[in-house]
């Protein structure tokens, strides 16, 4: 909270007082100051930001200054484009001409104001008038956002701005280190590609915003120009690799995979070309690559969402946030929008939102990776003697019978070894209501079975709250965080009210419950963190209106693990619909498990399937 308050204070300080934009005239062609002063080709631009696009020759801008105060007017003129090659400022007062130069082809140590953006310090005597001429040359696009600051105000503006940028770079660097450590631990390529992307983002913003020249490369035009293009192209390469790997293009959508590979190779060619070809050609290639890359990446996320890749929504939100921030910042630069927090730092805010959303998407994989680690630990510790002990424990903790209720309930339980880490239980609250919990301790075998007994204790301790599954999971989480170490537990809890024909449910990192209605599968998801990860988490209740004839299917992830293809929902849903159409209710669970097992070459986890058949009206009224 304190960091958030500090950030808001800094944003307020940086955006609270805006500098004056001068009334500018522009001249597109002139070879010297003398020619510019005598030219009749000046155009009035007003107070908007002059944008000359790609201009091979230099451009000119001028604006008047007048000191109406009885004291000397000390000002700083800032050009808010750190990537311009050279800016020559000519200050004409009483017939005298003073020249100051800046830009990424000028040694930073010669600047009169040591600021990331080109800035010049001037002083006007009382009552004096003068004219400032700016001659700007650059091999890329030329924008000249000029602001006039009071010298003292500039210091107050610069300090919070540098702190804001420091927080931005610190956030990116922290995410980089964090995700790299995850990559070292899990060795999954998605994390490596994401780390490469964060690295390129960090370097490109250091170059683009002038910090690289200010603090590292005071006079290195090649690094500041060609280097920026090279890093930008590599950023497209790394983010495209990350998208392709994480969104499973190769297995989900072959056409999108080909598109992403085309984008990657095009970006690689542009990166190499930026070091070899003339700068003007390279900058045009980068200018074409960036919008094409953004469109391709956004389209990839959309197609992945349509293919059922759940994490794709994070990518859609990420690209939308980045696009929105860039648009707002561009519109503000052209004075189409008033100055604001989003206007000044829109692209960077969009980037922060983007990388945070990417991190959330990657975080969803931790559950699967931790389960795999638990499985490996269970295999190593699975001794025959412990199996016998665990089997006896498991027989005591699992329900001995299925409760009699309005619905018809069937359970199929298949541990990988003699015992497993899957757990289920019932809580009868009346003749026309029932609570059910299904859980999966990471791993399997003896140790998982022992921990599942702790899950039963946790559930039985709080099952009086079964009418609110979210409260049940919340209290179980607090209990398990204390008594289970080095393991996590996924769980799905439901409460069936047959009078209201309604189901309440909540999940803790568990696969969704499936509702089979009129032959079609409806997945019901509920977001919630795995049990035992943190001490406190607010699990939310969700509701679903039941209909007579519905079939509810609760299951653990062993049901679909090791199925061919990256998206398990395709074969799972198909088999659920097929079994419902061809198999009676008593044999549904066993048939479903059998059919799915025939599709894989390896069984690597416990399997539990609970089916609940909601009675038809004639049965419900008996």
> Is 172 in the same domain as 70?
no
**Domain boundary at 86, 121, 153, which?**
153
- Domain assignment present for residue 1? The answer is no
Spatial distance between the Cα atoms of 129 and 567, rounded to a whole number of angstroms: 71
Decide which of 131 and 373 is more confident: 131
Question: Could you give the 3-state DSSP secondary structure of residue 563?
Answer: coil
Over residues 442-462, the mean pLDDT reads 81
In a domain, 168, yes or no: yes
Question: Is residue 294 predicted with pLDDT exceeding 70?
Answer: yes
10 Å Cβ neighbour count for 538? 11
pLDDT of residue 13: 47
Within this chain, do residues 272 and 188 fall inside the same structural domain, yes or no?
Answer: yes
pLDDT at 5: 46
Do both 327 and 228 map to the same domain?
yes
pLDDT class for 428, splitting at 50, 70, 90?
confident
Lowest mean pLDDT among 141-150, 497-506, 511-520: 141-150
Average pLDDT over residues 598-603: 79
State how far the Cα of 309 lies from the Cα of 247, in Å rounded to an integer: 7
Q: Is the pLDDT of residue 528 over 50?
A: yes
- C-alpha distances out from residue 470 to 153, 180, 206, 437, Å: 53, 34, 45, 12
Contact between residue 296 and residue 260 where contact means Cβ atoms under 8 Å apart: yes
Return the residue matching tokens 């390529």: 189
For residues 183 and 267, give the distance between their C-alpha atoms in angstroms, rounded to a whole number: 24
- Whether 14 is covered by a domain: the verdict is no
Q: Which helix (H) or strand (E) segment is 345 a member of?
A: helix 341-363
SS (H, E, C) 289-326: HHHHHHHHHHHHHHHHHHCCCCCHHHHHHHHHHHHHHH
Looking at the structure, do residues 266 and 313 belong to the same domain, yes or no? Answer: yes
**Predicted confidence (pLDDT) per residue in 131-148, tens digit:** 899 999 888 778 888 888
pTM of the predicted protein model: 0.54
Burial of residue 419 (CB within 10 Å: 0-12, 13-18, 19+) is buried
Residue 13 lies in a domain: no
The strand pairing partners of 131, in sequence order, are 64, 92
The pLDDT score that the predictor gives to residue 176 is 87
- Other beta carbons within 10 angstroms of residue 532's beta carbon come to 28
Helix (H) or strand (E) holding 410: strand 408-414
Q: Determine the average pLDDT of the residues in 548-573.
A: 88
- pLDDT value at 622 more than 60: no
- Tens digit of each residue's pLDDT (9 = 90 or more) over 315-347: 777 767 766 666 665 555 555 555 455 545 556
In this structure, is residue 584 part of a structural domain?
A: yes
* CA-wise closest residue to 422 among 441, 446, 396, 402: 441
Element (H, E) at 86: strand 86-93
Q: What pLDDT shows up at residue 517?
A: 92
CA distance readout (Å), 450 to 277, 370, 403, 508: 65, 18, 24, 20
Asked if residue 412 and residue 354 are part of one domain, the reply reads no
Q: Which of 322, 340, 367 is the last residue of a domain?
A: 367
User: What's the pLDDT tens digit per position in 386-404?
Assistant: 666 666 766 777 887 888 7
> Is the pLDDT at 353 greater than 90, yes or no?
no
Q: What is the pLDDT of residue 4?
A: 43
In sequence order, the 6+-apart residues with CB closer than 8 A to the CB of 373 are 442, 443
Q: Residue 407: CB partners within 8 Å, gap ≥ 6?
A: 434, 496, 498, 612, 613, 614, 615
Which residues fall within 8 angstroms of residue 392, CB to CB, at 6 or more apart?
Answer: none
pLDDT in tens, 27-57: 988 888 989 888 888 988 887 777 777 776 7
- Containing domain of residue 174, as a range? 160-367
Counted residue by residue, the chain has a size of 622
Same domain for 489 and 602: yes
Asked if residue 71 has pLDDT above 70, the reply is yes
Classify residue 387: in a domain, yes or no: yes
CB-based contact 135:99 (threshold 8 Å): no
Residue 329 is predicted with a pLDDT of 58
Element (H, E) at 496: strand 489-497
Q: Residue ranges of the alpha helices (H) in 401-539?
A: 446-462, 469-483
Predicted pLDDT of residue 452: 83
Reply yes or no on whether the pLDDT at 491 is more than 70. yes
Per-residue pLDDT band at 511 (split at 50, 70, 90): very high
Exposed, middle or buried: residue 61 (CB in 10 Å: 0-12, 13-18, 19+)? buried
The mean per-residue pLDDT over the stretch 117-126 comes to 88
The pLDDT score that the predictor gives to residue 297 is 82
536 CB burial (10 A radius; 0-12, 13-18, 19+): exposed
pLDDT tens readout for residues 231-249: 989 998 998 898 888 887 8
Alpha-carbon distance of 238 to 267, in angstroms, equals 10
Question: How confident is the model at residue 159, as a pLDDT?
Answer: 81
Judge whether 206 and 228 are in contact, CB under 8 Å.
Answer: no
Of the segments 181-185, 243-247, 257-261, which one has the largest average pLDDT value? 257-261
428 and 327 within one domain: no
CA dihedral 190, 193, 194, 199 (to 10 degrees): 160
Residue whose token pair is 């800035």: 119
Angle at 255 between CA 249 and CA 259, to 5 degrees: 80
Split into its structural domains, the chain has a count of 3
Backbone region of residue 54 per phi and psi (left: phi > 0; alpha: psi in -120 to 50; beta: other values): beta
361 and 389 in a single domain? The answer is: no
For residue 149, the SS3 value is strand
pLDDT at 296: 85
Same domain, 297 and 445: no
What sign for the dihedral angle of Cα 101, 105, 106, 112?
A: positive
Report the alpha-carbon angle 17-23-25, nearest 5.
145
Do 378 and 468 fall into the same domain? yes
In a domain, 125, yes or no: yes
Quick count: other Cβ atoms within 10 Å of Cβ 119?
A: 23
**What whole-number percentage of the chain has pLDDT above 70?**
84
Confidence of residue 369 (pLDDT cuts 50, 70, 90): low
Last residue of a domain, one of 153, 173, 196: 153
Same domain, 616 and 599: yes
* Mean pLDDT across 82-96: 85
Residue whose entry in the numeric block shows the structure tokens 């025939």: 598
119 located within any domain: yes
* 401 neighbors 609 (Cβ within 8 angstroms): no
Q: Of the given ranges (211-215, 278-282, 287-291, 331-335), which has the lowest mean pLDDT?
A: 331-335
Nearest CA among 53, 57, 225, 84 for reference residue 146: 84
Mean pLDDT, range 430-434, rounded to an integer: 83
Q: Identify whether the C-beta of residue 429 lies closer than 8 Å to the C-beta of residue 435.
A: yes
Residues 423 and 443 in one domain: yes
The CATH number of the domain holding residue 49 is 2.60.40.2380
Alpha-carbon Rg for the chain in angstroms: 32
| Averaged confidence pLDDT in the chain | 82
Q: Are strands 59-66 and 119-124 parallel, antiparallel or unpaired?
A: unpaired
- On the question of pLDDT at 514 being above 90, the answer is yes
C-alpha–C-alpha distance, residues 28 and 572, integer Å: 66
DSSP single-letter state for residue 531 = B
The domain that contains 421 carries what CATH number?
Answer: 3.60.40.10
**In the predicted model, is pLDDT for residue 10 greater than 60?**
no
């Amino acid at each position: 909270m304190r960091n958030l308050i500090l950030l808001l204070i800094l944003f307020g300080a940086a955006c609270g007082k805006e500098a004056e934009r001068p009334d500018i005239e522009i001249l597109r062609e002139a070879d010297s100051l003398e020619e510019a002063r005598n030219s009749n080709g000046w155009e009035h631009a007003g107070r908007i930001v002059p944008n000359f696009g790609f201009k091979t020759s230099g451009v000119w801008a001028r604006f008047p200054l007048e000191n109406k105060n009885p004291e000397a007017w000390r000002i700083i003129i800032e050009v808010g484009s750190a990537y311009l090659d050279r800016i020559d400022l000519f200050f004409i007062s009483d017939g005298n001409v003073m020249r100051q130069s800046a830009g990424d082809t000028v040694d930073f140590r010669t600047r009169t104001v040591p600021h990331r953006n080109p800035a010049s310090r001037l002083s006007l005597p009382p009552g004096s008038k003068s004219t400032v001429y700016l001659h700007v040359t650059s091999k890329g696009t030329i924008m000249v956002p000029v602001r006039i600051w009071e010298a003292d105000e500039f210091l107050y503006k610069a300090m919070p701005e540098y702190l804001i940028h420091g927080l931005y770079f610190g956030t990116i660097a922290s995410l980089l280190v964090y995700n790299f450590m995850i990559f070292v631990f899990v060795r999954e390529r998605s994390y490596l590609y994401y780390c490469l992307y964060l690295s390129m983002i960090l370097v490109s913003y250091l170059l683009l915003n002038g910090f690289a020249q200010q603090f590292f490369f005071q006079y290195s035009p090649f690094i500041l120009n060609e280097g920026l293009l090279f890093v930008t192209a590599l950023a497209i390469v790394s983010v495209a690799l990350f998208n392709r790997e994480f969104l499973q293009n190769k297995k989900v959508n072959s056409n999108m995979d080909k598109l992403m590979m085309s984008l990657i190779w095009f970006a690689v060619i542009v990166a190499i070309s930026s070091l070899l070809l003339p700068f003007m050609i390279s900058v045009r290639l980068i200018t074409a690559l960036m919008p094409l890359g953004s469109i391709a990446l956004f389209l990839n996320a959309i197609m992945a969402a349509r293919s059922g890749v759940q994490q794709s929504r994070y990518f859609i939100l990420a690209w939308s946030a980045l696009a929105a921030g860039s648009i707002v910042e561009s519109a503000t630069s052209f004075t189409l929008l008033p100055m604001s927090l989003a206007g000044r730092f829109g692209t960077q805010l969009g980037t922060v939102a983007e990388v945070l959303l990417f991190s959330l998407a990657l975080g969803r994989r931790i559950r699967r990776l931790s389960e795999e680690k638990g499985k490996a630990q269970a295999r190593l510790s699975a001794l025959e003697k412990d199996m016998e002990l665990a089997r006896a424990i498991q027989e005591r903790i699992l329900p001995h019978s299925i409760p009699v209720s309005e619905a018809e309930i069937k359970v199929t339980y298949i541990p990988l070894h003699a015992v497993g880490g899957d757990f289920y239980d019932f809580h009868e609250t009346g003749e026309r209501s029932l609570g059910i919990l299904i859980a999966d301790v990471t791993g399997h075998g003896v140790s998982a079975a022992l921990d599942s007994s702790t899950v039963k204790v946790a559930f039985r301790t709080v099952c009086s709250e079964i009418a609110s599954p979210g409260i049940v999971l919340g209290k179980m989480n607090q209990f398990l965080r204390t008594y289970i170490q080095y393991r996590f537990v996924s769980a799905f809890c439901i409460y069936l009210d047959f009078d209201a024909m309604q189901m309440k449910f909540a999940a803790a990192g568990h696969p969704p419950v499936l509702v089979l209605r009129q032959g079609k599968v409806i997945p019901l998801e509920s977001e919630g963190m795995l049990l035992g990860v943190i001490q406190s988490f607010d699990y939310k209740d969700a509701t679903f209106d039941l209909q007579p004839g519905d079939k509810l299917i609760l299951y653990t992830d062993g049901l679909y693990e090791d199925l061919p293809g990256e998206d398990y929902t395709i074969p799972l849903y198909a088999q659920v619909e097929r079994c419902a159409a061809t198999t009676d209710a008593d044999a549904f669970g066993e048939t479903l498990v059998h059919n799915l097992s025939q599709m894989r070459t390896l069984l690597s986890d416990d399997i539990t399937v609970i089916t609940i058949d909601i009675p038809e009206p004639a049965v419900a009224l008996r």
